[in-house]
Amino acid sequence: MATLKEVAKKAGVSITTVSRVINGSSKVNGETRERVQKAMIQLDYQPNRVAQRLRASSGQSKLLGLIIPDIQNQFYSNIVRGIEDVTYGHDYAVILCNSDENPNKERFYLEVLKSESVDGIILPPIHQFGEEIESIIELGIPIVCVDRKLMRKKVDTVVIGNEKGGYDAVSHLIEQGHKKIAILTSSLQFSSFDERQKGYERALKENGIEIDKRLIKEGDPRSSETARELTDELLSLDSPPSAIFATNNLMTLGVLESVNKHGMQIPDDISIVGFDDLPWAKAISPPLTTIKQPAYEMGQKAAELFFQRVENPSREPEVVIMEPKLIVRESTAKLVNAQVKDTE
């Protein structure tokens, strides 16, 4: 691959001049410029981004780091795609890291990204008080939190109104006559799940429904397995719930699997509200009622916040709260009388 030096030699100028032609950083004589440009084309010159990065001051390295729990979780792959579509237009490359919600992996990758001189890092923080992340902020590397918040430090953040999402989901069920409503939430402590559960509780309270601890189940949000098992438990309760609210896409799958295995009909036997509106949600039978998170847009917004900070490093951190949206499809229905008798 051609270097500045080779171009300079071919054009009979110094590398300084070539650099100037490339970056337009100061005037060069028209004739010289043409000569250089011709040489660049002839040699198919492309600047070496590694050398540029080494030389560059912060914010100029054209590299962005992403640490997500798991790219196999479609919620995150949607976020990643939103980010990438924005960075694409800025000539940035993106380094992708999967943390599995594992603090050691997160720590490892934060070190790698620092060492790669990234211009910034976008991530859903694992800990609400992330020391490592705080130390990175101190270093002046822009951080954008997405999906979850950081408590102690003010940082650019994109989240959805999780409390409202939970509230809307459960209110919808209550409107349809449901009283025994179960929730599947995360056993790992994250602000997002905590708030969804708060919304669940508020909806119940506001409607005078007592909270029944047996209907609150905590499982691993990284896969559908525990959700399936917990749903098995829920369905074998003496008085099982007439509706289940699953707080992320994988747990929703676990619920569906268990319900189907039990030969129950949705929504006749049980109503389901999921979280995350993924492509399969509207394709299945019955189509799933769900809380839609604008994951792709969250990614876009996070990337935009990052670029705004590169532009203006001293601006106040911004917290963007996006709207969750209840999409009513056919997995929820009015509680029929027979069942009401049954369960009351």
Q: Which residues bind DNA (CB under 7 A)?
A: 1, 3-5, 12-17, 19-20, 22-23, 25-33, 45-48, 51-52, 54-57
The residue (of 32 and 58) whose beta carbon lies closer to a copy of itself is: 58
Does the footprint of a copy of itself cover residue 266 (CB under 8 A)?
yes
Which of 70, 220, 229, 318: binder of a copy of itself (CB under 8 A)? 70
Which of 24, 89, 208, 279: binder of a copy of itself (CB under 8 A)? 279
Quote the CA–CA distance of 53 and 118 in Å, as a whole number. Answer: 9
The residue (of 21 and 326) whose beta carbon lies closer to DNA is: 21
From the CB of 136, what's the least distance to DNA, in Å?
A: 16
Does the footprint of a copy of itself cover residue 139 (CB under 8 A)?
yes
Report the b/e string of 87-123 with b at 16+ CB within 10 A. Answer: beeeebebeebbbebeeebbbebbeebbeebbbbbbb
Which range of residues in 8-16, 95-103, 152-160, 204-212 is near a copy of itself by CB under 8 A? 95-103
Which range of residues in 4-12, 24-32, 53-61, 232-240 is near a copy of itself by CB under 8 A? 53-61
Q: Which of 198, 149, 303, 179 is nearest to 239 (CA)?
A: 179
Q: How far apart are the first and last CA of the chain?
A: 76
Q: How far is CA 70 from the centre of its chain?
A: 10
Q: Which of 230, 272, 223 is nearest to 100 (CA)?
A: 223
Which of 287, 310, 320, 322: binder of a copy of itself (CB under 8 A)? 287
For residue 80, the partner it binds in a copy of itself, DNA, none, with Cβ less than 5 to 8 A by kind, is: a copy of itself
From the CB of 284, what's the least distance to a copy of itself, in Å?
A: 4
For residue 207, the partner it binds in DNA, a copy of itself, none, with Cβ less than 5 to 8 A by kind, is: none
Which range of residues in 20-28, 105-113, 169-177, 202-210 is near a copy of itself by CB under 8 A? 105-113
Does the footprint of a copy of itself cover residue 117 (CB under 8 A)?
yes
The residue (of 6 and 257) whose beta carbon lies closer to a copy of itself is: 257
Does the footprint of a copy of itself cover residue 60 (CB under 8 A)?
no
Q: Answer yes or no: are the C-beta atoms of 99 and 67 closer than 8 Å.
A: yes
Residues of this chain that bind a copy of itself (CB under 8 A): 1, 46-51, 53-54, 61, 66, 70-72, 74, 77-78, 80-81, 84-85, 88, 93-98, 105, 111-117, 139, 224, 250, 253-254, 256-257, 260, 266, 278-280, 282-287, 296
